[in-house]
């Protein structure tokens, strides 16, 4: 069957989140006609941020979950939604189930823009501490790239996305092309100074580096300090596909955006050993459509890009495209979080803040910087957190009702300082996802089964995250310190990675150093699937840099006649 010319593109990008938006921008700006697919509905910048400017009294049920909300959203994602405010984003759990062979929280963004609309915006560079980690520890396989390969691409994406942060001169957390940082507040400055003195600079508390603008850029206004990023920012104050990469791609005239388009297979030409396009199921009409292109970028999110590969070229490889190494769907990683400590800070009752800052503090990794330091675990962790002054939401259970309670709650309460760890999970072949043989989704497509668990390394690290948090808060003079060890399910970090790792050898990895599938070099996977190790550092900025690098490489290969 011939594919109509309207279905022929130079490149198809599957997924329009952080990675897919970057792929679309970089490819269209280099002159390629690009089809950008997303399985969810369209979300138009500004116009569709329906609740972004609601005042507190206009918010339905004041942000509390209703019974109807709980019924409609039974899954793990309901913890992340803002009830009544962004319900239509995320993934509909009833239509998009998955199987938890072991407990797994899969927090997805099934709409145009994906999780770029609702992400945490923490943006840090990885370093050779991360890219050399597997080689140094003799674990999994070596990354085929080093920091030097990505550094210019970090520059590139930071300048365009707009990352605010301080140049701190910390080797394991390289400086970048930053806009001015957001201020530390008075209590955070106090804690930073105490930690500096106590640890002699070995542990540092710095401003969080966030993808929130502190200066206007392109058509975007600086952050207005409303801290409502998760509702979409009508000012364009934070990086999202909608605010940033999508308008750039649209401006080229080379982009076609197709929402409601579930990519169901990469179409593989076994004679040419290349992909020839992508099969799409229209989520609304249930029509199956084939689109052809000479390049296919998979940016569907780490687990969904692997799902798509597993369903492709099965006539050649029963396990799917990229499965010849035996690693497709394996080595799933995340960041463990939910462990830390917090306490009360005295001496600042006459101080407060103005504005609601959408970031906080970061304490970069300081453990195992020289390799295995014999602490009972490999790798390390960083801390995020902030100091805050409580308000009426604290209630005061000790107080009797009446005017005393009212007067107390009209005044601000105590200052507190809290920090929580983000811990590196090691790549482990046993942590895997696969197509479930029975269960299907609302479109009759097989769903993923998740079989991932923490190991002794993770548990030992978690204990030290908590004891270190306490030690640092004590060193800073924080009072009434309480530890936190919240339940962590795999996936809860929402940094899932590793299902189609990069490597140097097609026998042990799915992708090469330029994110090409070894078995189909015109298929490039540039989202979290490609990660060979997890670092403890938030990964999104690295996805951006890897995607931009891969897009530039792929276009150069096309121009050289190699693809």
Binding site for other proteins (CB under 8 A): 46, 49, 52-53, 55-59, 61-62, 64-68, 182-186, 188-189, 216, 221-222, 224-226, 234-235, 349-357, 392-393, 395, 397-398, 400-403, 405-407, 409-412
- Which is closer to other proteins, CB of 216 or CB of 430? 216
Of 332, 358, 369, 382, the C-alpha closest to 206 is: 382
Q: 27 and 297 in contact (C-beta within 8 Å)? A: yes
The CA distance from 416 to 4, in Å, is 62
Distance in Å from the first CA to the final CA of the chain: 24
The token pair that represents 438 in the structure block = 């029975």
446-451: strand order across its sheet: 99-100, 446-451, 432-440
Q: How far is the CB of 34 from other proteins (least distance, A)?
A: 28
Q: 67 and 95 in contact (C-beta within 8 Å)? A: no
Give Rg (Cα) of the chain: 23
Helix (H, G, I), strand (E, B) or coil at 199: helix
The CA distance from 425 to 418, in Å, is 23
- Which is closer to other proteins, CB of 288 or CB of 392? 392
Of 299, 302, 306, 258, the C-alpha closest to 280 is: 258
The CA distance from 385 to 115, in Å, is 21
Pairing mode, strands 415-424 and 432-440: unpaired
User: What DSSP string runs through 242-309?
Assistant: IIIIHHHHHHTT-EEEE-SEEEEEEEEETTTTEEEEEEEEETTT--EEEEEEEEEEE-S-HHHHHHHH
The CA distance from 272 to 516, in Å, is 15
- Which is closer to other proteins, CB of 79 or CB of 286? 79
- Which is closer to other proteins, CB of 191 or CB of 548? 191
The CA distance from 300 to 303, in Å, is 8
- Which is closer to other proteins, CB of 100 or CB of 188? 188
Q: Which residues, at least 6 apart from 183, have a Cβ–Cβ distance to it below 8 Å?
A: 207, 357
């Amino acid at each position: 069957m011939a594919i109509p010319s309207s279905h022929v593109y130079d490149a198809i990008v599957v997924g329009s989140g952080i990675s897919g938006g970057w792929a679309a921008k970089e490819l269209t700006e280099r002159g390629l006609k690009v089809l950008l697919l997303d399985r969810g509905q369209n979300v138009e910048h500004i116009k569709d941020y329906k609740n972004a400017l609601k005042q507190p009294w206009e918010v339905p049920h004041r942000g509390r979950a209703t019974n109807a909300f709980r019924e409609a959203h039974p899954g793990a994602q309901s913890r992340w939604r803002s009830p009544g405010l962004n319900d239509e984003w995320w993934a509909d759990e009833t239509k998009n189930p998955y199987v938890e062979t072991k407990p797994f929280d899969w927090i997805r963004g099934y709409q145009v823009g994906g999780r770029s609309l609702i992400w945490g915006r923490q943006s840090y560079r990885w370093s050779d501490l991360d890219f050399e980690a597997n080689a140094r520890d003799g674990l999994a396989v070596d990354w085929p790239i080093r920091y030097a390969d990505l550094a210019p691409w970090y520059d590139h994406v930071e300048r365009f996305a707009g990352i605010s942060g301080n140049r701190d001169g910390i080797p394991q957390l390289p400086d970048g092309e930053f806009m001015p940082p957001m201020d530390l507040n008075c209590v955070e400055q106090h804690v930073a100074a105490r930690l500096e003195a106590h640890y002699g600079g070995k542990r540092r508390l710095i401003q969080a580096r966030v993808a929130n603008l502190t200066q206007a850029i392109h058509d975007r206004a600086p952050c207005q300090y409303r801290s409502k990023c998760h509702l979409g920012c009508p000012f364009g104050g934070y990086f999202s596909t909608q605010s940033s990469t999508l308008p750039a791609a649209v401006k080229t005239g080379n982009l076609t955006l197709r929402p409601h388009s579930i990519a169901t297979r990469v179409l593989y030409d076994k004679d040419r050993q290349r992909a020839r396009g992508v099969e799409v199921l229209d989520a609304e009409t249930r029509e199956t459509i084939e689109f052809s292109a000479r390049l296919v970028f998979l940016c569907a999110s780490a687990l969904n890009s692997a799902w798509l590969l597993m369903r492709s070229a099965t006539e050649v490889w029963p396990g799917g495209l990229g499965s010849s190494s035996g690693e497709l769907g394996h080595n799933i990683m995340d960041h463990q979080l939910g462990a830390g400590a917090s306490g009360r800070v005295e001496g600042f009752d006459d101080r407060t803040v103005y504005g609601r800052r959408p970031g906080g503090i970061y304490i970069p990794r300081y453990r195992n910087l020289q390799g295995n330091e014999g602490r009972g675990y490999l790798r390390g962790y960083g801390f995020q957190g902030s100091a805050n002054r409580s308000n009426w939401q604290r209630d005061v259970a000790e107080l009797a009702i009446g005017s005393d309670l009212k007067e107390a709650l009209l005044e601000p309460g105590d200052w507190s300082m809290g920090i929580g760890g983000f811990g590196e999970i090691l790549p482990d072949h046993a942590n895997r996802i696969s197509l479930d043989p029975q269960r299907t989704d609302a479109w009759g497509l097989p769903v993923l089964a998740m079989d991932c668990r923490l190991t002794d390394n993770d548990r030992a690290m978690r204990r030290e995250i908590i004891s270190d948090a306490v030690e640092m808060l004590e060193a800073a003079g924080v009072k009434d310190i309480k530890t936190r060890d919240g339940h962590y399910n795999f996936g809860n970090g929402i940094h899932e990675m590793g299902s189609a790792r990069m490597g140097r050898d097609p026998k042990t990895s799915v992708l090469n150093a330029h994110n090409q599938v070894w078995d189909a070099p015109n298929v490039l996977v540039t989202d979290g699937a490609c990660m060979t190790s997890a670092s403890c550092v938030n990964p999104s900025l690295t996805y951006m840099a890897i995607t931009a690098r891969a897009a530039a490489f792929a276009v150069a290969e096309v121009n050289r006649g190699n693809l």
